[in-house]
Amino acid sequence: MKNYTGMNVLITGSTSGIGLAIAKVFAKKNATIIFNGFASIEEINTIQADLSRITSGRVLYHGADLTKQNEIESMIEAINQDVGGVDILINNAGIQHISPIEDFPPEKWDLVLALNLSAAFHTTRLCLSQMKEKGWGRIINVASVHGLVASMQKAAYVAAKHGIIGLTKVVALETAKQDITCNAICPGWVLTPLVEKQIQTRAEQNQQTQEQATHDLLSEKQPSLSFVDPYHIGELCVFLCSDAAQQITGVALPIDGGWTAQ
Ligand code: NAD
């Protein structure tokens, strides 16, 4: 089994949901964890303490707003100085905005594209030279089933997630001759604050209970009728970093209860 002790794992958007679960899974492997995202000081301290109890490595926080190129540059610079670079980069931070295209606010389009797509371009370009120098690196982009198929009213999100799968393939080709891989993970519904908001909106719009809205949300798209467990996404990330996955690069891997099999 791979030893993650001494390895630096940056997980963007890891103060909540899928990113936080991924951080905990790598903490269990004793990696050094760099977590990022928005939260109150109390929440950040709690996450830092929780992760520090799990891992024997260091736990660092950087609060960069990843819609801002200069803050991404400062974050990577700080990580390089503190721990000597990123070995495993997990581009996870993402937001959603739901609206028919003719009413889609252009500033929301820009924001979703900046966070869900451009941020991964910036972190990747800034981490790659160090990975190449070390001769090893793993980049995982948390895309979505919406990188493979579309849903109505999610123009920016679907465009950004299709885009990040394209970016994944280019990075995979440009690094193919080194021991560096770049892959995308495509989750279906995962019960996180991002999806809880959508269930709440459905319940209000259709005058349903939370339970009915949750059932409808799942049965529309996810044949398993179960949410994906965020820790299973963490385990999938660990697998993609393992030696067994050395020749897996440039793929977009669904973890979606059958959503994209339809
Ligand atoms: P979440 O809302 O629980 O977490 C999002 C994280 O991103 C938080 O830590 C938040 O603070 C951070 N974030 C938001 N804006 C930021 C910014 N400007 N700069 C830095 N960090 C920022 O969401 P989640 O459901 O855990 O989603 C994580 C990823 O998984 C996203 O890319 C999302 O598109 C993807 N995804 C989620 C689902 C799902 O069903 N939840 C399905 C497929 C893909």
pLDDT, tens digit (0-9, with 9 covering 90-100), for 112-166: 999 999 999 999 999 999 999 999 999 999 999 999 999 999 999 999 999 999 9
pLDDT of residue 1: 65
> Looking at the predicted structure, is the pLDDT value of residue 257 above 70?
yes
Length of the chain: 262
Give the DSSP letter of residue 60.
Answer: E
Q: Is the pLDDT of residue 27 over 80?
A: yes
Mean pLDDT, residues 75-101:
98
Residue 76 has pLDDT above 70, yes or no: yes
Write the residue with the smallest CA distance to atom 21 of ligand 1: 37
Q: In 118-210, which ranges are E strands?
A: 137-142, 180-187
Answer yes or no: is pLDDT of 2 > 90.
no
Strand 180-187, strand 137-142: pairing: parallel
CA distances from 94 to 17, 32, 117, 197 (A): 11, 23, 9, 14
Pocket of ligand 1 contains residue 91 by CB under 6 Å: no
Task: Give me the percent of the chain exceeding a pLDDT of 70.
Answer: 100
Which residue's CA is the closest to the ligand 1 atom numbered 41? 190
Ligand 1 centre to CA of 133 (Å) is 30
pLDDT digits (tens, 9 = 90+) for 168-224: 999 999 999 999 999 999 999 999 998 999 999 999 999 999 999 999 999 999 999
pLDDT band at residue 3 under the 50/70/90 scheme: confident
**Under a CB-based contact definition with an 8 Å cutoff, are residues 10 and 34 in contact?**
yes
Question: Is the distance from CB of 27 to CB of 56 less than 8 angstroms?
Answer: no
Give the per-residue pLDDT at 228: 98
Does the beta carbon of 234 lie inside 6 Å of ligand 1?
Answer: no
Q: What is the pLDDT of residue 50?
A: 98
Percent of the chain beyond pLDDT 90?
Answer: 98
What's the CA angle centered on 94, arms 92 and 100, to 5 degrees? 150
Rounded mean pLDDT, 40-46: 98
Closest atom, ligand 1, to C-alpha of 116: 32
- What DSSP element (H or E) covers 11? strand 8-11
Residue 39: partners with Cβ closer than 8 Å, 6 or more residues away: 15, 16, 47
Q: How far apart are the C-alpha atoms of 72 and 25, rounded to whole Å?
A: 24
Amino acid at 211: E
Helix 17-28 and helix 41-54, axial crossing angle in degrees, nearest 10: 30
Query: Is the entire prediction scored with pTM above 0.85?
Result: yes
DSSP letter at 10 equals: E
Contact 63, 93 (CB under 8 A): no
Q: What is the pLDDT of residue 77?
A: 98
pLDDT digits (tens, 9 = 90+) for 59-75: 999 999 999 999 999 99
Q: Are the C-beta atoms of residues 241 and 31 closer than 8 Å to each other?
A: no
Rounded mean pLDDT of the chain? 97
Q: Closest Cα to atom 31, ligand 1: which residue?
A: 94
